[in-house]
Amino acid sequence: MFESKVLNVVEKVLGDVKAGFTCGCLFVECSVPDAVKLETALLAEKQFGGIILSRVGGESAYDFV
């Protein structure tokens, strides 16, 4: 349920990008500006709590805290 809500926001903001969860962490293949845009959209939803954003190679990693 949580993961599908998050992935819906990803699709709404970035369209069809490679995104998925591993061990509760969301990984999205996107540029840094798109990563920040997505983080802002996720925080605006106010249902996902805090987010720690990091870069792992060409992917952005979102840890929900």
Domain total for the chain? 1
DSSP bridge pairs for 54: 61
pLDDT at residue 34 in the model: 96
Q: Which two tokens stand for residue 63?
A: 């840890």
For 17, 51, 56, the CA distances from 44, given in Å and listed in that order, are: 20, 11, 24
Query: Over its length of 65 residues, how does the chain's per-residue pLDDT go in tens digits?
Result: 889 999 999 999 999 999 999 999 999 999 999 999 999 999 998 888 899 999 999 899 999 99
Complete DSSP assignment for 39-56: HHHHHHHSSS--EEEEEE
| Predicted local confidence at residue 45, as pLDDT | 86
Question: What pLDDT is attached to residue 59?
Answer: 95
Q: Are strands 19-22 and 59-64 parallel, antiparallel or unpaired?
A: unpaired
Question: By three-state DSSP, how is residue 26 classified?
Answer: strand
pLDDT of residue 55: 95
Q: Which domain holds residue 44?
A: 2-64
Question: What is the domain-level CATH number for residue 59?
Answer: 3.90.1070
